[in-house]
Amino acid sequence: MSVNYSEETVRKAEQELARRRSIAESEQLEREERISRELPEAAELKRSLRNGYFELVKLIAAHEGDAKKAAERIRAKSISTQERLEQLLAEHTGDPHYLDVRYSCPACRDTGFVEGVRCNCMKDLLKRFAAEEMNENSAIALHDFSEYRPTYYPEGDIRRRMDGVCAYLRKYCADFPIGSCSLLFAGGTGLGKTFLSSCIARALGERGISAAFVSAFDMLRTLENEHFGRAQGNTMDQLLTVDMLIIDDLGSEPNSSVYETFLYNIINGRINRRLPTVISTNLEGEVLRSRYHDRLASRIMSEFRCIIFRGEDIRQIKALEKRR
Ligand SMILES: [Zn+2]
């Protein structure tokens, strides 16, 4: 699906591609300089290949009578020159393609397009920058797994369980997208659901994966504004295509059939695309079922792996620690 992105997002993606291109090309120049110094014969072969290419272009442009024969001669010569060059480079550097430009994406040579169509590398960049923009606009700062403190949970079973949850989520992020199921974080306020889900967004973002972290209410308000033409944007498509979507505090939004339709379209759409979603909510089991229509609730219940958070309100524990 072709998604429209903001000018800012497109600009960032183009800049990143230009950066990759210029690194690939300047590294190639460095290798060429080395070869000029150490292996003049190979440098000469490379030059003759380039001249052959220019001659070929000229011939094609000229449309002269015997152009075809001449072109074949140049081509045949190029092939043998190329072979000799690769042999020399392999002997000297161990790599027959030492003088090639090493693009990050050989498919599009870091231009972002293949035959006029957005290359996958460009799509990944657009998704990533769109997710970063959403995260920057979110009121909640993203945290790092290293900030996890076992002591925020009561000693014994609960702490052991939460240590296990944290370890599982670290591995979940390291292995992503292999075995990445959708997750439902359920449990009372202040038990670290938002904290741990924001750690997922950050850990994945640091790996260059597009991971958007949004508050349920803010997300739904934005969708509503765009849907009714009160705001410009294409948030729905972006939410449907980012590699990971984290919806914080589901259930905090006002009851509304419009909101519920948006939620269903997002959650169902991502399930159909096999893209994982993480939802955190204070609503557990039957409460979630009674809050939403069956089709939404059962989609969540059947497709999401539920992780129940237990303990005492960490915000209160932190406040007590500060007072000490
Ligand atoms: Zn590409």
Domain assignments of the chain as residue spans, ordered by start: 7-120, 138-323
CA 17 to ligand 1 center in whole angstroms: 9
CA 223 to ligand 1 center in whole angstroms: 31
pLDDT of residue 313 exceeding 90, the answer is no
CA dist 243 and 229 (Å) reads 27
Give me the sign of the Cα torsion angle 178, 182, 185, 186: negative
pLDDT of residue 321 exceeding 80, the answer is no
CA 106 to ligand 1 center in whole angstroms: 7
Burial of 251 (0-12, 13-18, 19+ CB in 10 A): middle
Given phi > 0 = left and psi -120 to 50 = alpha, else beta, which region is 204? alpha
pLDDT (0 to 100) of residue 76: 87
pLDDT of residue 102 exceeding 70, the answer is yes
pLDDT (0 to 100) of residue 235: 95
CA 258 to ligand 1 center in whole angstroms: 38
How many Cα neighbours within 13 Å face the side chain of 289?
5
Single-letter amino acid, residue 133: E
Beta bridge partners of 215: 248
- The whole-number average pLDDT for the span 28-32 is 96
Render pLDDT for 218-253 as a digit per residue (tens, 0 to 9): 999 999 999 999 999 899 999 999 999 999 999 999
Render pLDDT for 34-68 as a digit per residue (tens, 0 to 9): 999 999 999 999 998 988 888 878 877 776 667 77
CA 111 to ligand 1 center in whole angstroms: 7
- Domain 138-323 matching CATH 3.40.50.2300: the answer reads no
- pTM for the full predicted model: 0.85
Backbone angles phi, psi at 185, to 5 degrees: -95, 115
If one compares 316 and 268, the residue with the highest pLDDT of the two is 268
pLDDT (0 to 100) of residue 65: 65
pLDDT (0 to 100) of residue 314: 82
Give me the sign of the Cα torsion angle 98, 101, 106, 107: negative
- In order, the DSSP letters of 175-233 are HTTTT--EEEEEESTTSSHHHHHHHHHHHHHHTT--EEEEEHHHHHHHHHHHHTTSS--
Confidence of residue 291 (pLDDT cuts 50, 70, 90): very high
- The whole-number average pLDDT for the span 107-121 is 96
Q: Which of 134-138, 254-258, 288-292, 294-298 has the lowest mean pLDDT?
A: 134-138
Q: What is the 3-state secondary structure (H, E, C) of 247-299?
A: EEEECCCCCCHHHHHHHHHHHHHHHHCCCCEEEEECCCHHHHHHHCCHHHHHH
CA 174 to ligand 1 center in whole angstroms: 24
If one compares 79 and 66, the residue with the highest pLDDT of the two is 79
pLDDT (0 to 100) of residue 324: 66
pLDDT (0 to 100) of residue 64: 64
Render pLDDT for 83-98 as a digit per residue (tens, 0 to 9): 999 999 999 999 999 9
CA 105 to ligand 1 center in whole angstroms: 5
